[in-house]
Structure 1
Amino acid sequence: MRPKYLFAAALAATALASPAPAARSETAVLAGGCFWGMEAVFEHVQGVSNVVSGYAGGDAKSANYRDVSAERTGHAEAVRITYDPSRIGYNDLLAIYFSVAHDPTQVNRQGPDTGPSYRSAIFPQDARQKAIAAEVIARLKKQGVKVATKIESGTFYPAEAYHQDYARKNPNDRYIVINDAPKVKQLKAKYPARFKG
């Protein structure tokens, strides 16, 4: 059994009691391997209105696929998730991130993809998100999960247009079939109340 399947029990205790913010829209920036799969998962989450593939952790000049793929920019492939906090909390997004969207025990890799641009990293958008992310990681580690995920800072830059909605537009692509479609199926199985078709 892969370690990530054990995360659900550890994450059950991370539902931090805090009132939903008054805002109807917030953003989260998460990195966990190829952004195609991360985008595909979060596009199917109730309360999420938009997911954009991009780069985080480097500068604007090098925020392009050619340079990021060369592994010299400091960027991670990431997604920017826009969500309604009255419908889904940030801690719930992190539960999906840690248990379905990627394997946070991997260092600088996910599946067939290797290098720092495929690292597991959370880019909090405010102090509250940073505190929640730190609490979730601490609880997972306390449960014995060897979490490689780091909390980082940096601006998010959208990726090139051809990367956006890649899994939805290319469902028969071999990479998507092997690596990303199973994540969406797992989301539906593990979180049926959170899944949108």
Structure 2
Amino acid sequence: MATATFGAGCFWGVEEAFRRLPGVLEATSGYMGGTVENPTYQQVCTDQTGHAEVVQVEYDPARITYQQLLDAFFRLHNPTTLNRQGPDFGSQYRSAIFTYDPDQEREAAETVQRLEESGAYQRPIVTQIVPAGPFWRAEEYHQRYIQKHGGASCHI
């Protein structure tokens, strides 16, 4: 089993999309990248804690590769909008890849470079690639939110 963590805007839909990939064992909504220990959703929404809404993915590398997860990540959101995804804005919605080792960091950087050179996007990719820090699991009502609420929007 291996771990990958991605910030791609509101975590509800991102969690559900990763959960559906063969080889993904678990996808958990949470927070990473900030300065407050064990933040609440209300704190993160103030855009003052420095956290991103993230999905931590536990996966079986024999069934799905990190590269396949990266490809899914870039399909799931717009990596060219700074601190914004759709109607959601603030640094908590930033595009970010949190890496756990030098191989993940290298693969993420190479993927960004390949996408930039391919012309896949009209604007520069602003996705942060940063070392993973503490992962703080989001409140239970955020876990499997799409399954519980049938595709509800990302606004509470």
TM-score normalized with structure 1 length: 0.73
Moved runs in structure 1, 4+ residues, more than 3 A? none
Does 1:151 find its partner at 2:126?
Answer: no
Which runs of 5 or more structure 2 residues have no equivalent in the other structure?
none
In 2, Cα distance between equivalents of 1:172 and 1:152: 30
Q: Quote the Cα distance in structure 2 between the aligned partners of 1:131 and 1:64.
A: 32
| 1:152 Cα deviation after fit | 1.6
Q: Secondary structure at the match of 2:97?
A: strand
Q: Kindly indicate whether residue 106 of structure 2 is the aligned counterpart of residue 131 of structure 1.
A: yes
Which range is displaced more, 40-49 or 57-66?
A: 57-66
Hey, what's the Cα distance between the residues in 2 that align with 1:71 and 1:81? 24
The unaligned stretches of length 5 or more in structure 1 are: 1-24, 180-197
Aligned to 1:116: 91
CA displacement, residues 8-42 of structure 1 (integer Å, 9 cap, x when unaligned): xxxxxxxxxxxxxxxxx001000010000110100
| Residue 47 (structure 1) aligned with residue 23 (structure 2) | yes
- Which structure: larger Rg? 1
Question: What corresponds to 1:3 in structure 2?
Answer: none
Q: What letter is aligned with 1:42?
A: F
Q: How far off is 1:67 after superposition?
A: 0.8
RMSD: 1.5
2:29 and 2:102 map into 1 onto residues whose CA distance is: 23
Residue 167, structure 1, aligned to residue 154, structure 2: no
Question: 1:162 Cα deviation (Å)?
Answer: 0.7
Contact kept, 8 Å, 1:47 with 1:84, in 2: the verdict is yes
